[in-house]
Amino acid sequence: MKRLLGEELKSYFKDPHGVPSWWRPEEGRYHFWHRQEFKILDAHLKREGGLALDAACGQGRFARYYARNGYVVKAFDINHRMLLTAAQRAAAEGVRHRIEFIEGDLERAPWRAEQFDLVSCMHALDHVTDVESAIGNLTAPLKKRGMLVVSFTPTACVYAWLRNLYTVLDRRRDGNVDVAQPFAFDRLMEVLARHQIAIRHVCGIGLTSSPQERIRFPVFVRRLFELMARLDLTVKPYHRDTWLAQHCSVVMIIGERA
């Protein structure tokens, strides 16, 4: 298995036949899992509206959520096909006029300083080579007292350990590629602190499970993972501000620009 970095990694995510074929958070097998992210936002999103930036927006589900909750949104992604889908879905929901979709790169975002009231980057930090640069591009355009929402997979979680094991076992297969990299929780906190982000809440989803649809496992394995995910979220939909929250398969950080 080859780990993609730099321009190779970006080329993978630009491919119109790549990510759109497996990233299906709204209609895929794990749609129930992804709904927990909106429950977290329902509890913590600032409702006064303003200007929002949705970085690496994918099919635009968070951009649409922010638009429905009173924000005018700029949403960008590196994949043109994903943006077309995002625009179509925004139009279908009646919020297209509140969202501007832009083709752009998370590591080269040209936004004016202190421009946005809300900056969001979900399920993308695991897929960039230079996380420090990406965080800088997310925080620089955020107004003082503005809200930052990001998610990532921490190195110290069950899913990351299983993923690393799979990578080792699959290392001899040239056809597969590794396009994600977990990040140490403490290290990300240090990066955010350097960029003047005060952490307000740490929320985690899935202690034993993650919405994995990219790797084509046998049917019985996929069903087992899905059952584990459903049981996991039945016990507790998400964890907040605890040690367990820091060790879930996806951690959502809600912060504020100091």
Residue labelled with tokens 């994949």: 79
What's the length of the chain?
258
CA proximity to 234, closest of 253, 206, 213, 210: 206
Looking at residue 213, its pLDDT comes to 65
Domain range for 90: 2-257
pLDDT greater than 60 at residue 172: no
- Selected residue with higher pLDDT from 131 and 180: 131
Using DSSP, state whether 236 is helix, strand or coil: coil
Looking at residue 215, its pLDDT comes to 66
pLDDT greater than 90 at residue 9: no
**Is the pTM here over 0.75, yes or no?**
yes
CATH number, domain containing residue 153:
3.40.50.150
Cα 155 to chain centroid distance, Å, stands at 16
Are the beta carbons of 177 and 1 closer than 8 angstroms?
Answer: yes
For the chain, state the CA radius of gyration: 17
Q: Token pair of 82, please?
A: 């994903």
Tens of pLDDT, residue by residue over 211-236, are 776 666 677 777 888 888 899 999 99
Q: Which residues of 83-108 are buried (b: 16+ CB within 10 A; e: fewer)?
A: bebbbebbeeeebbebbebeebbbbe
For 2, 25, 102, 172, 233, the CA distances from 228, given in Å and listed in that order, are: 28, 17, 37, 28, 9
Domain count, the chain: 1
CA dist 92 and 39 (Å) reads 22
Cα 202 to chain centroid distance, Å, stands at 14
Say if strands 50-55 and 116-121 run parallel, antiparallel, or are unpaired: parallel
